[in-house]
Amino acid sequence: AQSVTQPDIHITVSEGASLELRCNYSYGATPYLFWYVQSPGQGLQLLLKYFSGDTLVQGIKGFEAEFKRSQSSFNLRKPSVHWSDAAEYFCAVQGGNSGYALNFGKGTSLLVTP
Amino acid sequence: GAVVSQHPSWVICKSGTSVKIECRSLDFQATTMFWYRQFPKQSLMLMATSNEGSKATYEQGVEKDKFLINHASLTLSTLTVTSAHPEDSSFYICSARDISGQGANNEQFFGPGTRLTVL
C-alpha cells in the first residue's frame, strides 16, 4: 500500500541548532515529494518540492531536503533553526493511485526552545 | 500569483443545519480542486476530488450525500456539509491545481482553510 511515514511526532530543538525532519515513503515508483509547514490555525505553506533532477532541493526560509531513492526518504533540513520555525511540518507525496491528490504524513510538531 | 481563497474562514452552526464552504482560485483556472479535512493535531485527509463540470470523486468512507461538492466553474468549488453534527467539526482545506502550468503542473495551491464548529 502507498504510504508516507513521518517517524517523529514531536521534535524539540534549541534556537540556532540544526534540524532534520524525517520522511519515508512507500510507492511503486518515484513519486513527487513535498514539504509543507502549517502554523497554528493556518493553512499550508509549501517549503519545497522534488519532481526530478538534482536530489538536493532548496526551499524557502532556509530549508532544504534531500531525496534518497535507495532509502525511500525525503528528509527536511535546516542548518540553524529560528524561534519562528516552530510549527507543524508535513511531508506529502503525489503520484500512484492517488493521481494528483496529495497523501500526507501524520506530521511532525517542532518546538524551538531559547 | 497562484492564490486560493476560502470563505468563510470560520463558521459556527447549530446541529442539523447545512454549511457551505467556498474555494476559489483567484488568479488561475483549476479544472481540479481537492477537499481535505484535518482534525485537531492530526494530518490532512483527502475527502474528495472536485472536477469542473463533472461529479466529484469521493474517498472511501466519505459520505457523498453528506458532503456535497459542486465545481461549477474553473475558479470555484463549493463544499456543503449537510445536516451537520458535532463530529463534523473540523478544519476543511481546499487546494487547486493550475491547468496553465503556473508552478509545475503537478503543484497544488492551498487555501487558508475553514474551521467549522458544530454545536
CA distance, residue A107 to nearest chain B CA (Å): 6
H helix count then E strand count, chain B: 0, 11
What pLDDT, on a 0 to 100 scale, did the predictor assign at position B80?
Answer: 97
> How far is the C-alpha of A35 from the C-alpha of A109, rounded, in Å?
13
- Confidence tier at B102 by pLDDT (50, 70, 90): low
Q: How confident is the model at residue B1 (pLDDT cuts 50, 70, 90)?
A: low
Q: Which residue has 530549508 as its cell numbers?
A: A63
Would the CB atoms of A101 and B115 count as touching at under 8 Å? no
Cis peptide before B8 (omega within 30 of 0): yes
Q: What is the mean pLDDT of the segment spanning A14-43?
A: 89
Which residue did the predictor score with more confidence, B25 or B106? B25
CA A76 distance to own-chain centroid: 5
SS3 A22: coil
Q: Are A37 and A48 in contact (CB under 8 A)?
A: no
pLDDT at B101 over 60: no
B39 C-beta neighbours (distance < 10 Å), count: 12
What does the pLDDT read at residue B104? 53
Q: Please report, rounded to a whole number, the percentage of residues in chain A having pLDDT higher than 70.
A: 96
Q: Is the pLDDT of residue B100 over 80?
A: no
Whether A102 and A89 have beta carbons less than 8 Å apart is answered as: no
Q: Return d(Cα A76, Cα A4) in angstroms, integer.
A: 14
Q: Tell me: pLDDT of A113 over 80.
A: yes
**Per-residue pLDDT tens over the stretch B50-87:** 888 888 999 999 999 999 999 989 899 999 999 999 99
Q: Which of B4, B7, B23, B18 is nearest to B72 (CA)?
A: B23
Which residues on chain B are in Cβ contact (under 8 Å) with A106?
42-43
Minimal Cβ distance to B43: which of A51, A90, A100: A90
Q: H/E element holding A109?
A: strand A108-113
For the segment B3-32, what is each residue's pLDDT rounded down to a tens digit? 899 999 999 999 999 999 999 999 888 888
Q: Taking CA atoms, what residue in A is nearest to B35?
A: A101
Q: Average pLDDT, stretch A31-48?
A: 89
Given a contact cutoff of 8 angstroms between Cβ atoms, the answer to whether A86 and A17 are in contact is no
pLDDT score, position B52: 85
Using a CB–CB cutoff of 8 Å, tell me whether A31 touches chain B: no
Q: Does A90 contact chain B (CB < 8 Å)?
A: yes
Task: Give the pLDDT confidence score for residue B27 in this predicted structure.
Answer: 87
- Position B106 pLDDT exceeds 80: no
pLDDT band of residue A29 (cuts 50, 70, 90) is: confident
pLDDT at A85 over 60: yes
Cβ atoms within 10 A of the Cβ of B58, count?
18
Touching check for A44 and chain B: CB below 8 Å?
yes
Q: Is A53 on the interface with B (CB under 8 A)?
A: no
- pLDDT at position B22 is 97
Residue of B nearest to A106 (CA): B43
